[in-house]
């Protein structure tokens, strides 16, 4: 029996397969399509996605191929209104990386192949049944043959029309927006910056151009009065017409190599789990492309789920850990759907009064540094938190960080914090020399903890304390040297009791041997932090 069957090889399913196989879980990934989609679709790879993919060995190639956008510039009536400056993102990746989804998927699939997993194409989900022991999924192969595939768990990454969601009769509540969108990938000859997202607001809908590099742009516009007709794919003339009537920067658009129309659906599931079946990505949530969040959310869903499934399958995590996938991610998803709905309503408005108000207020609102400081991190998916969720209840805090928060990938004197993050298990970062009170209580779990001593900037952590960090880079628990009960409390709650508790003195030695001593700090990568911002 396969441990995890993944249905769908879009970015969500590929990330699930990548993460689970990396963690030693036996997976199968199937997709009904004979070939990967060649279309560009999701262009924006957000900072948080890059932060998480870097220690997983995928980000370097993404960064090499993608084009960086450093701000969003808003225009109306021929004027520049204001910009959202991404330098406010508290991340090494303080930009949005523009790369065609087909390329992102290719890189994920290449990496997956390197890990020994091949996407089984032309294999479609048909139905499933499940009980306490596993899931029996009926798959249909391209030659018409059917197969019953048994698995301990199934991940439904089968897109917005999710046949699995439908087969299980689960609702996908929300609404559809009665607005036609036109999009296409074109070359643009004109004075259009290639290092920013440019949005043009108008009473007859909005138009956006997103730079893909080398003179190519993604063009996206609303077409409230139907100037582009309703043919399946908008023509180059349609796109030029929409551009000319909205944008004040003269340009010739040419070399259209993909165009499409779409309507926005804004929906999400109210549960991400049905027994042994987990839902993620578009199968679980769809919304407006405003802000380029969709693909990134699916990738992050799977990075949240992967380590939990792996730990439970390994027998080190308690089964209840799997419930925290939904309790962590569903609030983030609901907030995202609501935020993109609001943004879409604002940009779509064809009401002249609302448009006048928007063009007058935008420069005022965006000139507030507090707004800038909030907007960019939110766009980069850096401010999502699992604070107050069951996975972080009672986890305490350290410095400005509370259990459930993203642990920033701060710069250290050598490398970055995530270079030390063990993405296969929990990492205990010990700050300061006073390790004994921390080392002793967690001795039973030495085999599931990677321990590093780090010196962090005082703005992030006080002189002495500890941070228990999950493989997905969120803070599980934290405290001062005298608060080790909190550490053992978190471990007892979510991990199974160790099969053979180690004797205390041995364990303490083990821990001590894994903790670099003060004198050896500079010889290790756990070195004094020199980061200048509390990022
Ligand atoms: C025009 C456009 C622009 C977008 N721009 C952005 C952006 O800038 N940033 C962003 O983050 N997101 C963007 N998105 C959204 C993004 O494309 C999706 O969020 C993303 O593709 C979701 O990935 P997924 O893997 O969950 O689903 P999908 O990519 O839809 O993959 C689902 C897979 O499941 C397979 N499947 C379906 N049925 C079955 C079955 N019965 N059996 C087996 N396999 C099956 C399909 O073949 C498909 O390969 C955009 C979307 C569109 C359409």
pLDDT 10s digits, 305-314: 999 999 999 9
Same fold, 2-43+100-168+267-348 and 181-262: no
> What kind of architecture, by CATH, is found in domain 181-262?
2-Layer Sandwich (3.30)
pLDDT, tens digit, 9 for 90 and up, residues 87-97: 989 999 999 99
What distance in Å separates the CA atoms of residue 398 and residue 476, rounded to the nearest whole number? 11
Q: What is the pLDDT of residue 437?
A: 55
Question: Ligand 1: which of 294, 297, 384 to mutate, judged by most atoms within 8 Å of the beta carbon?
Answer: 294
Distance (angstroms) between ligand 1 centre and the Cα of 16 equals: 14
How many angstroms separate the alpha carbon of residue 459 from the centre of ligand 1?
40
C-alpha closest to that of 1 among 154, 190, 150, 110? 150
Distance from the alpha carbon of residue 259 to the mean position of ligand 1, in angstroms: 16
CATH number given to 2-43+100-168+267-348: 3.50.50.60
Instruction: Kindly indicate the confidence band of residue 504, based on its pLDDT and cuts at 50, 70 and 90.
Output: very low
Nearest-atom index, ligand 1, CA of 295: 11
Highest mean pLDDT among 100-109, 215-224, 355-364: 100-109
Do the bridges between strand 71-76 and strand 197-201 make them parallel or antiparallel, or are there none, so unpaired?
parallel
Fold observed for domain 390-523: Glutaredoxin (3.40.30)
Element (H, E) at 430: strand 426-431
Three-class SS state of 488: helix
pLDDT digits (tens, 9 = 90+) for 381-406: 999 999 999 999 999 999 999 999 99
As for ligand 1, residues whose beta carbon falls within 6 Å of it are 7-13, 30-33, 41-44, 101, 124-125, 157-159, 163, 183, 262, 281-282, 289, 292-296, 298
The pLDDT-based confidence of 521 (bands split at 50, 70, 90) is very low
Comparing C-alpha atoms, which of 506, 55, 484 is closest to residue 514?
Answer: 506
Ligand 1: centre distance to CA 160 (Å): 7
Query: Mean pLDDT of all residues in the chain?
Result: 88
Cα(468) to centroid(ligand 1), Å: 34
Q: What distance in angstroms lies between residue 42's CA and the mean position of ligand 1's atoms?
A: 8
- pLDDT of 226 reads 81
Give the three-state DSSP class for 354.
Answer: helix
Between 431 and 391, name the one with better pLDDT: 391
Pocket test for ligand 1, best of 6, 16, 31 (most atoms within 8 A of CB): 31
Nearest to 163 by CA among 153, 150, 154: 154
**C-alpha dihedral, 78 to 82 to 86 to 90, nearest 10°:** -170
Phi/psi at 177 (5° precision): -95, 130
pLDDT at 526: 29
- For residue 511, is pLDDT > 50? no
What are 454's two structure tokens?
């780090």
Compute the distance from residue 139 Cα to the ligand 1 centre, in Å. 20
Domain ranges for the chain = 2-43+100-168+267-348, 181-262, 390-523
C-alpha to C-alpha distance for 408 and 419, rounded to whole angstroms: 12
From 32, 42, 44, 291, the mutation candidate for ligand 1 (largest count of ligand atoms within 8 A of CB) is 42
Percent of the chain with pLDDT over 90: 70
The preferred substitution site among 32, 67, 293, 297 for testing ligand 1, maximizing ligand atoms within 8 Å of CB, is 32
| Alpha helix stretches (DSSP H) within 88-207 | 101-114, 163-167
Radius of gyration of the chain (CA): 24
pLDDT digits (tens, 9 = 90+) for 60-87: 999 999 999 999 999 998 999 999 999 9
Name the closest-CA residue to atom 29, ligand 1: 10
pLDDT at res. 497: 81
Return phi, psi of residue 402, to 5°: -115, 155
Residue 295 in this model has a pLDDT that exceeds 50:
yes
Rounded to an integer, what distance in angstroms lies between the CA atom of residue 385 and that of residue 382? 8
User: Global pTM?
Assistant: 0.92
Mean pLDDT of 156-181: 94
Instruction: Report which protein residue has its CA nearest ligand 1's atom 27.
Output: 159
Ligand 1 center–CA 43 separation, angstroms: 12
Task: Please give the backbone phi and psi of residue 416, each rounded to the nearest 5 degrees, phi first.
Answer: -130, 165
């Amino acid at each position: 029996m396969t441990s995890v069957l993944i249905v769908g090889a879009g970015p969500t399913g590929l990330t699930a397969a990548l993460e689970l196989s990396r963690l030693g879980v036996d997976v199968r990934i199937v997709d009904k399509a004979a070939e990967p989609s060649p279309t560009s679709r999701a262009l924006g790879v957000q900072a948080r996605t890059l932060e998480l993919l870097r220690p997983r060995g995928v980000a370097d190639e993404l960064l090499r191929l993608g084009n960086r956008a450093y701000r969003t510039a808003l225009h109306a009536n021929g004027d520049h209104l204001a910009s959202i400056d991404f330098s406010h993102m508290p991340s090494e990746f303080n930009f949005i990386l523009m790369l065609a989804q087909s390329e992102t998927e290719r890189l994920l699939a290449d990496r997956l192949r390197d890990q020994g997993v091949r996407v089984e194409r032309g294999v479609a989900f048909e139905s499933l049944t499940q009980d306490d022991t596993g899931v029996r999924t009926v798959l249909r192969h391209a030659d018409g043959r059917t197969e019953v595939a048994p698995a301990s768990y199934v991940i439904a990454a089968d897109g917005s029309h999710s046949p699995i969601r439908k087969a299980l009769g689960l609702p996908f509540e929300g609404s559809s927006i009665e607005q036609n969108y036109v999009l296409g990938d074109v070359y643009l000859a004109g004075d259009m910056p290639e290092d920013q997202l440019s949005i043009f607001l108008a009473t007859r809908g909005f138009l956006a151009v997103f730079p893909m590099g080398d003179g190519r742009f993604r063009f996206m516009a609303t077409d409230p009065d139907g100037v582009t007709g309703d043919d399946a794919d908008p023509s180059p003339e349609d796109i030029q017409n929409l551009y000319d009537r909205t944008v004040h920067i003269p340009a010739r658009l040419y070399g259209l190599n993909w165009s499409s129309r779409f309507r926005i659906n804004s929906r999400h599931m109210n549960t991400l789990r049905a027994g042994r079946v987990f839902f993620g990505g578009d199968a679980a949530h769809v919304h407006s492309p405003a802000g380029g969040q969709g693909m990134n959310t699916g990738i992050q869903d799977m990075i949240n789920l992967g380590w939990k499934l792996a730990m439970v399958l390994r027998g080190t995590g308690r089964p209840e850990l799997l419930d925290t996938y939904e309790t962590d991610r569903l609030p983030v998803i609901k907030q995202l759907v609501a935020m993109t709905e609001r943004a879409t309503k604002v940009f779509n408005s064809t009401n002249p009064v609302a448009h006048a108000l928007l063009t007058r207020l935008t420069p005022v609102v965006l000139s507030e540094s507090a707004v800038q400081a909030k907007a960019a991190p939110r766009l980069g998916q850096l401010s999502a938190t699992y604070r107050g969720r069951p996975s972080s209840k009672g986890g305490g805090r350290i410095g400005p960080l509370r259990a459930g928060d993203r642990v920033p990938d701060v710069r250290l004197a050598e490398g970055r914090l995530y270079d030390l993050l063990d993405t296969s298990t929990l990492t205990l970062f010990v700050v300061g020399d006073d390790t004994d009170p921390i080392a002793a209580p967690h001795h039973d779990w030495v085999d599931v903890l990677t321990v590093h001593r780090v010196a962090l900037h005082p703005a992030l952590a006080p002189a002495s304390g500890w941070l228990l960090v999950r493989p997905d880079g969120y803070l599980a628990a934290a405290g001062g040297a005298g608060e080790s009960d909190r550490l053992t409390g978190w471990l007892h709650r979510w991990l199974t009791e160790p099969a053979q508790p180690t004797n205390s003195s041995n364990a303490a030695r083990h821990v001590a041997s894994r903790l670099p001593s003060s004198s050896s700090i500079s010889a290790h990568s756990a070195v004094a932090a020199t980061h200048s911002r509390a990022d």
